[in-house]
Chain A
Amino acid sequence: MRLETIPNPSAARKVGLPALALLATLGVAMLLALIAGANPFAVLGQIARGALGSKLAILETLNRATPLIFTGLAVAVAFRAKLWNIGAEAQLYAGAIVAVVLGTGALGSPLVLPVSAGAAMLAGAALLLGPVLLKTRLGVDEVVTTLLLNFIMLLFVSYLLEGPMKDPMGMGWPKSPALIPEARLPRIVEGLRLHWGFALAIIAAVAVWVIQTRTTLGFEIRAVGQNPEAARFAGMPVNAVLVKTALLSGGLAALAGWSEVAGLKGHLSSDLSPGFGYTGIIVAMLALLHPLGVVVTAIFVAGIFVGSDAMSRAAGVPTYIADMLLATALLFMVLAILLTKMRVVRG
Chain B
Amino acid sequence: MSEIVDILISASFWAAVIRIASPLILATMGELICERAGVLNLGIEGIMVIGAFTGWMAVYQGMPLWGGVAVAMAAGMLFGLLHSVLTVPFGLSQHVVGLGVTLLATASASFAYRLMLPQVTSPPKITPFQPLYIPGLSDLPWLGAALSQTALTWAAFAVAGLVAFTLYRTPLGLALRAVGENPAAVEAQGLSVTGLRMGAVIVGSGLMAVGGAFLTLSAFSSFFFEMVNGRGWICIALVVFGAWKPGKAVLGAILFAAFDALQIRLQQTALGAVLPYQLFLALPFLLSILALILMSRRAEVPAALMVPYNKGER
A12 on the interface (CB 8 Å rule)? Answer: no
B125 on the interface (CB 8 Å rule)? Answer: no
How many Å from the CB of B205 to the closest CB on chain A? Answer: 15
Q: Are B296's CB and A134's CB within 8 A?
A: yes
Known contacts: A3-B310, A143-B95, A338-B90. The answer to whether A159 contacts B278 by CB under 8 A is yes
Question: For residues 34 through 74 of chain A, which have their beta carbon under 8 Å from a beta carbon of chain B?
Answer: 35-36
Q: Are A334's CB and B97's CB within 8 A?
A: yes
Chain B residues within 8 Å of A32, by CB? 111
A148 on the interface (CB 8 Å rule)? Answer: yes
What 0/1 readout, one digit per residue, does chain B (83-109) give for beta carbons within 8 Å of chain A?
000100111110111011101101110
A144 on the interface (CB 8 Å rule)? Answer: yes
**Whole-angstrom CA separation of A35 from B288 in the bound complex:** 40
A314 on the interface (CB 8 Å rule)? Answer: no
Q: Are A2's CB and B282's CB within 8 A?
A: no
Among A194-202, A237-245, A320-328, the one that faces the other chain is A320-328
How many Å from the CB of B187 to the closest CB on chain A? Answer: 11
B175 on the interface (CB 8 Å rule)? Answer: no
**Whole-angstrom CA separation of A326 from B110 in the bound complex:** 14
Chain A residues within 8 Å of B103, by CB? 278, 282, 323, 326-327, 330
Known contacts: A86-B99, A139-B296, A320-B114. The answer to whether A328 contacts B281 by CB under 8 A is no
Q: Are B292's CB and A145's CB within 8 A?
A: yes
Q: Are A323's CB and B278's CB within 8 A?
A: no
Known contacts: A151-B285, A152-B282. The answer to whether A335 contacts B90 by CB under 8 A is yes
How many Å from the CB of A7 to the closest CB on chain B? Answer: 16
Question: For residues 247 through 261 of chain B, which have their beta carbon under 8 Å from a beta carbon of chain A?
Answer: none
Among B68-76, B229-237, B262-270, the one that faces the other chain is B229-237
* Count of residues in B whose CB is under 8 Å from the partner chain: 47
Chain B residues within 8 Å of A327, by CB? 100-101, 103-104, 107
Q: Are B282's CB and A151's CB within 8 A?
A: yes
Chain B residues within 8 Å of A105, by CB? none
Question: For residues 218 through 253 of chain B, which have their beta carbon under 8 Å from a beta carbon of chain A?
Answer: 229-230, 233-234, 236-237, 240
B118 on the interface (CB 8 Å rule)? Answer: yes
Chain A residues within 8 Å of B230, by CB? 147-148, 151
What 0/1 readout, one digit per residue, does chain A (127-148) give for beta carbons within 8 Å of chain B?
0000000100011110111011
Chain B residues within 8 Å of A318, by CB? 110-111, 114-115, 118
Known contacts: A134-B296, A151-B229, A320-B114. The answer to whether A334 contacts B86 by CB under 8 A is yes
Secondary structure at the A interface, as helix, strand, loop or mixed, is: helix
How many Å from the CB of B230 to the closest CB on chain A? Answer: 5
What 0/1 readout, one digit per residue, does chain A (294-318) give for beta carbons within 8 Å of chain B?
0000000000000000000000101
B311 on the interface (CB 8 Å rule)? Answer: yes
Q: Are A148's CB and B285's CB within 8 A?
A: yes
Q: Are B111's CB and A330's CB within 8 A?
A: no
What 0/1 readout, one digit per residue, does chain B (36-53) give for beta carbons within 8 Å of chain A?
000000100000000000
Chain B residues within 8 Å of A323, by CB? 103, 106-107, 110-111
Chain A residues within 8 Å of B172, by CB? none
B169 on the interface (CB 8 Å rule)? Answer: no
B140 on the interface (CB 8 Å rule)? Answer: no
A17 on the interface (CB 8 Å rule)? Answer: no
**Whole-angstrom CA separation of A162 from B86 in the bound complex:** 44
Chain A residues within 8 Å of B90, by CB? 3, 335, 338
B293 on the interface (CB 8 Å rule)? Answer: yes
Chain A residues within 8 Å of B96, by CB? 281, 285, 330, 334
B303 on the interface (CB 8 Å rule)? Answer: no
**Whole-angstrom CA separation of A86 from B232 in the bound complex:** 15
List 7 tightest A-B contacts by C-beta distance, closest first.
Answer: A323-B107, A318-B114, A327-B104, A327-B103, A159-B278, A320-B111, A138-B296
| 17 A/B residue pairs, CB under 8 Å, sorted by A | A3-B90, A84-B95, A140-B292, A141-B292, A144-B288, A148-B285, A149-B285, A155-B281, A156-B278, A159-B276, A278-B103, A281-B96, A318-B115, A320-B114, A331-B104, A334-B96, A335-B90
